[in-house]
Amino acid sequence: MTTTDSRTTTVRAQKAPAKKAPVPKVPAQGRARKPARPAGPAEAVRPAVPVRPAGAGRRYHLDTEIKKLTPAMRADQGRQLRSLVPRSSHAQLDAGSGRPDPIEALEGQSASREPDLVPIRYGRMLASPFAYFRGAALPMANDLSATPVTGIAVQACGDAHIGNFGLFGTAERRMMFDINDFDETTPGPWEWDVKRLAASLEIAARDRGIGVRTRRAMVRGAIGRYRLTMAMFAGQPNLDVWYAHAEVDEVRRRFAARVTAAQRKNLAKSISKARTKDSMQALDKLCRVVNGRPQIVADPPLVVPLSSLLKKDLDSSGIESRLTSLIEAYRRTLPGDRRYLLDQYQFEASDIARKVVGVGSVGTRCWIMLMLGKDDSDPLFLQIKEAGPSVLSEFAGASKFSNQGQRVVEGQRLMQAASDIFLGWLRIDPAPDGVTRDFYVRQLRDWKFSFDTQAMAPGGLADYGQLCGWTLARAHARSGDRIAISAYLGNSDAFDKAVAEFASAYADLNEQDFNALDDAAKSGRILAQRGI
């Protein structure tokens, strides 16, 4: 198996809803092949590795030894796990009196962040229960650590909520739909990603005022799509799984039959808008010409140029020298062809600013850097974002990478169908505050676009949830034992029902935590700046 601890996990089966929700089809690349037939009397072999579930406190790692097992043996391992971890047990959520205070967990995270930005983080989280959920990956990781797991590891996203999926451009100038946030990625249980996705869909639907039965069908549909997609990939060769992807035309077709003419028009408009979101658009939006060169315009507290954060008497030549050495360190993490491309930009005359991004990331150190190529009409905007330990690391084990930026990059490359051509990492040792800090680097904008789930009609949100389920299954199938996972999930909707029940219970808990954060702001325990 894929953990270093062999203890078993005790679980309780939960009552599941009786009626099955329909799961419409999602287009997918590749033809599913027939799954391996069960081992017959002449080939029946006991699994090479003991089949035991594992949970919190174990070290997860990706298992390449499965290549020594036949598909039938891997499927047999997955089926055996059902007796140890019943699929119905995934409805379980233990939020008893021993549960750590989620506000205390958030405060602990904030201690290492930029103090002047922490109130903005809390203010953004207080916009709605879904906004709170987006920023509360750590409290949920703690809650998930007490839930049943099979012990099969995948490269987990760690924050697979529906807001962290979207469009982006590939090096070949194709537009893809995929997971787009990997700050928390690390090897871990596949179930944790699935449950965070399910809970996010339930919470987003509640925020939209969608009824209970419709919400339940949405969640079961998304998890059913994950299960069916995993079964499809279980029957495919490794390369077919690796090549699978969802292009924007597929997304358009997927939504076309389920939305109104006006919504189709808005979707087409959104896709067209995504194609304009590149470094040139960022130059127009974020910069102005000063002394003949473009410079990033201050928009405090969201955008603050580096020059405004430095002491007035600081020697600028020392800053330039340090910046050059950092760019060189980042440059070494790129493939040779990308290093050559980067070398065609003038980083010695670059402009840098601190930029606030996202919800949960607010307060972490995030910089944007403008570099110019052949002239002022050839800009490259890079985002340099701080990477700390994954929120899963306390429960799934520390990363094998000492540099947390490398952890993010390696995980992203493993999960995404295609990644940013400038994806790399660096370390500042020490940073200006005397602390060693890790960062990952990517383009600021490269056709990136996130869908507004709060504006979707119920049918559109349901389809979007299934698209996310398909995408998450594809990402997991690249790194985990897709045959064992599929065999464990089986053909019934037992797992779908259980996770839908978990999602409903977690949405209740999320509302309690959201109200607790609001109370903390009202009492003065925390300072929240709303509307920024």
Residue 35 lies in a domain: no
Q: Can you give the pLDDT at residue 175?
A: 86
Residue 345 lies in a domain: yes
Residue 55 lies in a domain: no
Q: What's the CA gap between 186 and 147, in Å, rounded?
A: 18
Kind and range of the H or E run holding 381: strand 379-386
Q: What's the CA gap between 242 and 233, in Å, rounded?
A: 10
pLDDT tens digits, residue range 400-431? 999 999 999 999 999 999 999 999 999 999 88
Structural contact between residues 198 and 205, judged by C-beta atoms closer than 8 angstroms: no
Band the pLDDT of 88: cuts 50, 70, 90.
very high
- Of 421, 443, 465, the last residue of a domain is 443
Band the pLDDT of 313: cuts 50, 70, 90.
low
Band the pLDDT of 170: cuts 50, 70, 90.
confident
When divided into structural domains, the chain yields a total of 2
- To which residue do tokens 């017959």 refer? 40
Residue 513 lies in a domain: yes
Same domain, 270 and 283: no
- To which residue do tokens 């800053």 refer? 319
CA dihedral sign, ordered 152, 156, 161, 162? negative
Residue 410 lies in a domain: yes
Residue 91: pLDDT above 90? yes
Same domain, 340 and 462: no
pLDDT tens digits, residue range 176-213? 899 999 999 999 999 999 999 999 999 999 999 999 99
Same domain, 313 and 393: yes
- To which residue do tokens 């996310």 refer? 468
Structural contact between residues 16 and 498, judged by C-beta atoms closer than 8 angstroms: yes
Question: Could you tell me the residue range of the domain that residue 487 belongs to?
Answer: 65-91+100-274+449-523
Structural contact between residues 354 and 414, judged by C-beta atoms closer than 8 angstroms: no
Residue 118: pLDDT above 80? yes
Same domain, 415 and 309: yes
Same domain, 124 and 164: yes
Lowest mean pLDDT among 45-59, 106-120, 420-434: 45-59
Q: Can you give the pLDDT at residue 460?
A: 85
Q: Can you give the pLDDT at residue 255?
A: 67
- CA nearest 252: which of 268, 275, 273, 269? 268
Q: Can you give the pLDDT at residue 324?
A: 78
Q: Which residues contact 466 (CB under 8 A, 6 or more apart)?
A: 23, 24, 26, 221, 222, 224, 225
Share of the chain above pLDDT 90, in %: 65
Q: Can you give the pLDDT at residue 444?
A: 87
- Of 414, 443, 472, the last residue of a domain is 443
Lowest mean pLDDT among 306-320, 365-379, 418-432, 457-471: 306-320
Band the pLDDT of 322: cuts 50, 70, 90.
confident
Q: Strand, helix or coil at 317? A: helix
Lowest mean pLDDT among 51-60, 67-76, 239-248, 288-297: 51-60
DSSP state of 364: B
Same domain, 402 and 327: yes
Lowest mean pLDDT among 122-131, 179-188, 438-447, 482-491: 438-447
State the first-to-last Cα distance of the chain, in angstroms, to the nearest integer: 46
At 130, list the tokens.
């879904």
Same domain, 223 and 85: yes
Q: Can you give the pLDDT at residue 454?
A: 86
Same domain, 264 and 338: no
- CA nearest 133: which of 108, 164, 111, 107? 164
Cα distances from 433 to residues 320, 437, 504, in angstroms, run: 18, 10, 43
Residue 56 lies in a domain: no
Residue 266: pLDDT above 80? no
Same domain, 252 and 109: yes
DSSP state of 420: -
Strand 175-179's sheet: what is its strand order? 165-169, 175-179, 246-247
Q: Can you give the pLDDT at residue 315?
A: 57
Residue 253 lies in a domain: yes
Q: What's the CA gap between 111 and 363, in Å, rounded?
A: 10
Structural contact between residues 26 and 86, judged by C-beta atoms closer than 8 angstroms: no
Structural contact between residues 345 and 417, judged by C-beta atoms closer than 8 angstroms: no
- Of 443, 477, 499, the last residue of a domain is 443
Tell me the mean pLDDT in the region 240-263.
79
pLDDT tens digits, residue range 487-516? 999 999 999 999 999 999 999 999 999 999
Same domain, 76 and 115: yes
Q: Strand, helix or coil at 351? A: strand
Same domain, 202 and 264: yes
Residue 254 lies in a domain: yes
Give start and end residues of each alpha helix (H) in 417-493.
Answer: 458-479, 482-489
